Amino acid sequence: MPRAVYILALGIFAMVTSEFVVAGLMPQMAEGLSATIPQIGYLITAFAAAMAFGGPFLTVALLKMSPKLALLALFAIFLAGNLLAATATGYVPMLVARIVTGMASQAFFGIAISLSAQLTRPEVRGRAIAVVMNGLMLGTLLGMPLSTLVGERFGWRAAFWAIAALTVAAALCTVLGVPKLGRADGEGNFRQELVAFRKPKLWLVLTTSTLIIGATFAAFSYFNPILTQVTGFSTGAVPLLLVAYGAATVVGNTIVGRLADRYTIPVLLGGLVLNAGFLIGFALLAHLSVPAVVFMLGIGLVGVTMNPAMITRVQRTGNARPLVNTVHSSFITFGVIIGSWIGGLAIDGFGLRAPLWLGAGLAAIGIVTLLPDLVRRRRPVAQPAAEPSLASQ
């Protein structure tokens, strides 16, 4: 695997750490910015919304640049946003900082994934994507607790200064370790970039990704209250359980990455079926500590870990260029927003187990969106000489 792929993962690790830092420092930030806890919570929503809606536009603005130069430009924007956050004297500057960093983060995801495809052979692209996406998994596993620790020990501003330092380190590694490649065929032309979105199948494929992530985050967003109020764990035990969940995502992501190239659709189908089963099991047995932990770890193994297979499917259906990858990342972010938002509404109406049932329902709909691919795979080929296209795998 090229060294540059691991450097791209480091950049994503920095982005994800910044995304989650607010969640771990809400009380301190609320006091420091003279804001309420709900207002600090809106900073998380603002980051996600900026990712979903602003990231693709920022990617379009950078289409004329080479991938390496575009990444460095995004590092600069991301660094500026974190410096603004570290020095913010009020709520509005912090809100602007979160919007800026959210847009840069989403665009970085799209361009980094596209560049990983350029750097590797087609038959190992799924593994390369898994390495890059381990930056996301490790950001969840290590980035949030480490930034929370720094913020609690030295003040919440220190957490943003630390992320700024990490950003500079990742940018320097990119300068030294990522080759200067030209744009892939068709990149840089906005009209050509839009051609892929004329395919109805691409929109169905993007919807599948939204449902996979939505199913997972409907549960993940409410693990803390479920584990404490339904299962009965102490609040001190929950961080350890979430670390175990994060470790499960790293393992699952690595496994899926090795299978994504050859078995894209079977992996996605198996992941959705297993995730639905784990979610249903969790919903039924959430009051029992051992089954609850087993099912939670199962969700970690087959939830967000579907990313390498999801990305491989999107690239085969559309292309591996930055705009398609960034829009796909936006659909993934929609899944986060939908799962957490509807999950909260479900709790209000039906109790703390409701998000788990909601997640199972979203996973079931996700299985339905795979049916056209499953039918196509089973359909006999009329002429033996005609090989199926990559998009049909």
122-146 pLDDT, tens digit each:
777 788 888 888 888 888 778 777 8
Q: What mean pLDDT do residues 86-104 have?
A: 95
**pLDDT in the model for residue 13:** 93
**pLDDT in the model for residue 393:** 39
**pLDDT in the model for residue 195:** 85
Spatial distance between the Cα atoms of 149 and 392, rounded to a whole number of angstroms: 46
Spatial distance between the Cα atoms of 289 and 223, rounded to a whole number of angstroms: 13
Q: At what angle do helices 322-350 and 354-369 cross, to 10 degrees?
A: 140
**Which phi and psi angles does 119 have, rounded to 5°?**
-80, -15
**pLDDT in the model for residue 390:** 38
Q: What mean pLDDT do residues 161-176 have?
A: 95
Q: What mean pLDDT do residues 29-41 have?
A: 85
What is the pTM assigned to this prediction? 0.81
pLDDT band at 63 (very low <50, low <70, confident <90, very high): confident
Spatial distance between the Cα atoms of 361 and 220, rounded to a whole number of angstroms: 15
* Residue 288, phi-psi category: left (phi > 0), alpha (psi -120 to 50), beta (remainder): beta
pLDDT band at 187 (very low <50, low <70, confident <90, very high): low
219-248 pLDDT, tens digit each:
988 888 899 899 999 878 887 888 899 899
pLDDT band at 35 (very low <50, low <70, confident <90, very high): confident
- 184 pLDDT higher than 60: no
Q: What mean pLDDT do residues 344-355 have?
A: 89
Residue 85 identity = A
Q: Per the structure block, which two tokens stand in for 313?
A: 């499917």
**pLDDT in the model for residue 83:** 97
Query: Among 4-13, 65-74, 117-126, 381-390, whose mean pLDDT is lowest?
Result: 381-390
Query: Among 145-154, 265-274, 306-315, 348-357, whose mean pLDDT is lowest?
Result: 145-154
Domains of the chain: 1-188 (1.20.1250.20), 192-393 (1.20.1250.20)
**pLDDT in the model for residue 379:** 63
Spatial distance between the Cα atoms of 129 and 112, rounded to a whole number of angstroms: 9
Spatial distance between the Cα atoms of 172 and 2, rounded to a whole number of angstroms: 17
Give how far Cα 99 sits from Cα of 43, 47, 58, 209, 230, Å.
8, 5, 12, 23, 35
Query: Among 169-178, 288-297, 338-347, 374-383, whose mean pLDDT is lowest?
Result: 374-383
- 3-class DSSP state of 121: coil
Q: Per the structure block, which two tokens stand in for 161?
A: 């200064």
Residue with tokens 């005609």: 386
Length of the chain: 393
**pLDDT in the model for residue 188:** 58
pLDDT band at 389 (very low <50, low <70, confident <90, very high): very low
- 43 pLDDT higher than 50: yes
Give how far Cα 2 sits from Cα of 69, 165, 239, 380, Å.
19, 25, 34, 38
- 382 pLDDT higher than 50: no
**Residues in Cβ contact with 200 at an 8 Å cutoff, skipping those fewer than 6 apart:** none
Q: Per the structure block, which two tokens stand in for 285?
A: 């047995």
Give how far Cα 150 sits from Cα of 36, 54, 105, 146, Å.
22, 29, 22, 6
Q: Considering only residues 146 and 82, tell me which one the structure prediction assigns the higher pLDDT.
A: 82
Residue with tokens 């030209």: 182
- 3-class DSSP state of 171: helix
DSSP 182: P
Q: Considering only residues 268 and 382, tell me which one the structure prediction assigns the higher pLDDT.
A: 268
Give how far Cα 127 sits from Cα of 248, 255, 270, 335, Å.
17, 9, 18, 23
